Chains A and B, each alone.
Chain A
Amino acid sequence: MELTKRQTIFILITCLFANKVQRLPSLTASHLGRHGYLFFLVMGLIDTLMLLVCLGFNKLAGHRTSTYILLEKTGSAWFSKPIFILFAVYFLFNALLPYEAIHDMFASVLFDNLTWEIYSLLMVLTVFFMASRGLKTLGRLYEIFFYLIIGSFAILLCMGAATTNFARSLPLCDLNVASFAKTCFEYNLWFGDFLLIYMFVGKIKQDDGYLGWPIILAQVISTLVLSFAYMVFYGLYQNLAPNQNSLISSISLYSLLGLNIGRVDWFFVLFFQIGAVLCAGTYLFASAYCLYEVLSRHHLKGVTQSGFLKGEDKKAKKMMFILLFLVAVIYVADTNLFKSNQQGVAILTNITKYFGTFMVIVLPFILLIAAAVYHKKRKKQDKNIQNRFKNPLFVKKTAKIKSGKPNKTKKLKVMRSEK
């Protein structure tokens, strides 16, 4: 087993915050203005419901079978492979988001000049090193940094909340529902972090604590905190909110603390961005893992699952590096091809809005049905085995095989049954 339940919860919470408090609030503000916090609430609620579906899948899978094997046993390779390719693409898109967010923070806040090429090279190396060390290492990294990341976010939020004007988020009733629904539809790529759990099914230790309720509680609290963070952000910048690069680096700008002891808040921003790097590493790992599951059976000879998960396999590392290089190329191309980052984001959301909706809302139900079918099949198999053991003829036969030397036909039968 590679992960503990505690690590799984930490991964989900960190990924929940890491992407959503960067650029998304300013993008939301450009469409929804003061109602942006409702966007976070509604999308968070959808995520919570889908998380319940995901946990249902986890339970039916029986904690031992991985999602890929379950899908393969339920249908066939033709059923599991396309789903895992979709997962791989989705996670790769998600790995792009922190990549951009961290650049925003360093390039616009801490540096006068930081070229994309230098930034990308260093980032690619770090994320690759992190992801290639395996799932166990990723889980432990979250354990080390979790309190620092969440603590930094809380401090930054408090610094912002002390100077914001919450009245700017009112009135509530003039919400344009059509525009609201359109925004929810377009920006769903930033949500759906629970999909990561599908990759961890069968790899989570079952003997310590609960996964279900703590993870749901964490999701609900995170949703509320995100909505609150948006209110703080909008209260600070109002109509200027769409012009801000990132919520996390601008939320503490008006704090009075900096007057006497310098911009200590930037240190907290730095600490928080560790979460974004971890998030990028996790999504990259998940994407590479999906491709491994699709390709490993026939095409990647010698790549073992434990070797991949523990980060001990060179072929798996190569695969990850190629994927990450792809991420870097996409982003360097994005910044050089388009006039502005906003244009790049618009294209990204246009590509992903249908795909994201399918992944976040439709796919979990398909997977749940598959898990239910698998569960039923397994129950039937268990029953058959029990009945076979009850059958006196079978018991007699097996006893004969065990005690005496089986002849050639008996041997063949035994071998077949073992197969």
Chain B
Amino acid sequence: MESLDKKVLKLFNKNADIATRKLTAGGKQIFLFFIDCLIDLELMTNAIIEPIKKLKADGDTIKELEEKLLGVGAVKKLTNLSDIPEEIFNASVVIGVEKEKEFLAVTTPGYQMRSIAEPPTSSVVRGPREGFIEDLETNLSMLRRRLKTPSLAIKRQNLGTRTKSKIALVYLEGVVNPNIVKKLEKSLKQINIDGIIDSYYLEELLEESNEKFFKKLGNSEKPDVVAARILEGRVAILVDGSPIALSVPFIFMEDLQSPGDYYDISPRTTFVRILRVTGLLLAILLPGMYVALQSFHYRVLPLNFLISLLNSIEGISFPPIIEILFVLFLFEILNEASVRMPKQLGMALSIIGALVLGDTAVQAGIITPPSIVVVAISGITLYIIPNQASEATLLRAIFTVVGGFAGFYGIFLAFIILATYLVSIQSYGAAYMAPYAPSVATDKKDGFIKVPLSRMIYRPKSYITLNTVRQQPSQNAKYKVKSRKKDKLKKDSEEEYGAD
């Protein structure tokens, strides 16, 4: 008859790094299966091996181990042999006893993790500074610490036929629209891919339509932001191995809101948000407008400025569109290089970028100073909303080409097409351009203009939530709170997603 260790090792590939430890206690042969780089060996010795040594000769060994001896919290009984590999890959030690059908999986993770730090793209002057890391359990603990309510639901599942990545859907029961959760679960079930390496994989796979120019799932590296979104009735999706949490439904306005906005006075936040929108528009439109002005509509410029512009572009042999596209191309190359280049070479890159490519190219008559200024302004403003930088970079190139061929007329029409596209898309039932198109009056309080927190009585109404009231106004009695009727809500939900 085949021994237990052979039976288990048969489940794995020949080259799998599975370690086996054979012990004899109470007259029985006991096997431990594990991957030593994934588990805490000291914990295994103290909490598993030592108790096993105390095992008595009679009785059900697995039962005794589970109920009396093992000194670790997370113990799971396995009845199928096929469940063993998954448990071992998830940093468990699997205990098997010769001639017994059941196994025990004891979780003893001991792998190295990055420590919690402030995310580089969402740093704040005031407010929490911790960010998610690549471990799902740590990330969930950060959310749990913020949302101490029994209604916080965490639904787990594994995705990826080979990676078996752990996914968690986190939401507030009684607040979130259950149809969104159902729809997400259904979409997750339909995913059949070999591996989910990062949450971005899910971001693409969970999109409802084939129109994928703009992202339709929110993302954040900060637990305070994700907790706030969960409180607003959204569903957060966390993936093991990714420090970025996703959230649905998503609206465009979310990317204009920064975590720091909620830890600052409202007038300042309003000012900064208007700056951000202006910055985004400048980033996308400025190079195209410059090309259009120089090529077709120079009469729009003030006379003095026109004279100085003409002086500075004198002697340039390329048309404006080629010149700007060339500078944009250089900017993108420098940008790509600076992300991947070792830090020690950063200084050299700055010198090459500023002096060699900038100053020398101007002196050589390849490009003009105004075009560098225009691309520099556009480049800086591009990162005023980092989450939209990828889309804005592409749009900037499109608008530049359009401006070069059809002037303001082309830009004008392209802008209308862009706006049409933006208002027509939606993310899990929420209009992408809400609360402005369609207009949702209560949500505008956290739009371009932000009102003080005491006046934000309701949860967002741009999408359906089961509980719309967020706070009872104790000081401001003039704000009346109306709770949406459940029947009407059910009807609304059915209209959006269809009756289940």
Q: What residues make up the interface of A, taking CB atoms closer than 8 Å to B?
A: 4, 6-7, 106, 110-112, 114, 118-119, 122-123, 125-126, 129-130, 133-134, 136-137, 139-141, 143-145, 258-263, 266-267, 270, 273-274, 277-278, 311
Contacts and interface: CB of A to CB of B under 8 A. Distances in A.
A143 B416 contact: no
A110 B423 contact: no
Q: Which 5 A-B pairs have the closest CB atoms?
A: A140-B437, A140-B423, A262-B302, A137-B424, A126-B413
13 contacts: A114-B409, A134-B424, A140-B437, A141-B423, A144-B419, A144-B436, A259-B302, A262-B302, A262-B305, A263-B299, A266-B300, A273-B412, A274-B416
A143 B413 contact: no
B301 interface: yes
A311 B425 CA distance: 12
A137 B409 contact: no
A311 B409 contact: no
A129 B406 contact: no
B437 A144 contact: yes
B302 A260 contact: yes
B407 interface: yes
B300 A262 contact: yes
A6 B439 contact: yes
Given A118-B406, A139-B438, 7 more contacts: A110-B408, A125-B413, A137-B420, A141-B419, A144-B433, A260-B302, A267-B300
A311 B439 contact: no
Contacts of A129: 417, 420
A129 B418 CA distance: 10
B110 interface: no
Contact of B439 (A143, A145, A263, A273): A143
Contacts of A106: 408-409
A418 B423 CA distance: 41
Interface in B400-435: 406-410, 412-413, 416-417, 419-420, 423-424, 431, 433
B413 to A, nearest CB: 4
A80 to B, nearest CB: 28
Given A4-B439, A143-B438, A145-B419, A111 B302 contact: no
Nearest to B413: A126
A122 B431 CA distance: 27
B423 A122 contact: no
A74 B297 CA distance: 56
B409 A119 contact: yes
B213 interface: no
Contact of B410 (A122, A260, A277, A311): A122
B296 interface: yes
Interface in B433-449: 433, 436-439
A122 B413 CA distance: 8
Contacts, number: 85
B420 A270 contact: no
B328 to A, nearest CB: 23
Contacts of B437: 140-141, 143-144
A258 B424 CA distance: 37
A111 B409 CA distance: 9
A123 B305 CA distance: 32
A112 B297 CA distance: 9
Interface string B263-303: 00000000000000000000000000000000011011110
B462 to A, nearest CB: 12
Nearest to B412: A270
A94 B42 CA distance: 82
Given A262-B302, A262-B305, A140 B417 contact: no
B64 to A, nearest CB: 63
Contacts of A7: 438
Contact of B433 (A126, A140, A261): A140
B297 A110 contact: yes
A110 B419 contact: no
B412 A274 contact: yes
Nearest to A274: B416
Contacts of B296: 110-112
A126 B416 contact: yes
A144 B423 contact: yes
B370 to A, nearest CB: 15
Given A4-B439, A139-B438, A133 B420 contact: yes
A129 B421 CA distance: 9
A141 B301 CA distance: 30
A125 B301 CA distance: 30
Contact of B302 (A139, A261, A311): A261
Interface in B134-183: none
A125 B424 CA distance: 17
Contacts of B413: 122-123, 125-126, 277
Interface centre among B297, B409, B439 (most CB of A within 10 A): B409
B420 A141 contact: yes
A111 B412 CA distance: 14
A261 B413 CA distance: 25
A261 B306 CA distance: 11
B398 to A, nearest CB: 14
A62 B297 CA distance: 52
Contacts of B409: 106, 110-111, 114, 119, 122
A267 B415 CA distance: 14
Nearest to B495: A1
B120 to A, nearest CB: 33
A129 B297 CA distance: 27
Most buried by A among B408, B413, B431: B413
B442 to A, nearest CB: 12
Could you say which of B301, B305, B419, B436 has the most chain A C-beta atoms within 10 Å of its C-beta? B419
A133 B416 contact: no
Contacts of A6: 439
Contact of B438 (A4, A134, A260, A311): A4
A144 B437 CA distance: 6
Given A122-B406, A143-B437, A144-B436, A130 B300 contact: no
A143 B300 contact: no
B436 A143 contact: yes
Nearest to B408: A110
Contacts of B407: 110-111
Contacts of A123: 413
Nearest to B306: A262
A137 B424 CA distance: 5
Contacts of B431: 140
A378 B417 CA distance: 43
A123 to B, nearest CB: 7
Nearest to A259: B302
B438 A140 contact: yes
A246 to B, nearest CB: 15
A151 to B, nearest CB: 15
Contacts of B302: 258-262
A104 to B, nearest CB: 12
A6 B439 CA distance: 9
B301 A130 contact: no
Most chain B beta-carbon neighbours within 10 Å: one of A119, A136, A267: A136
Contacts of A259: 302
Contacts of A277: 413, 416
A374 to B, nearest CB: 27
A118 B407 CA distance: 12
A348 B437 CA distance: 36
Given A139-B438, A144-B437, A274-B412, A133 B424 contact: yes
Contacts of A263: 299-300
B253 to A, nearest CB: 13
Contacts of A143: 436-439
Contacts of B417: 126, 129-130
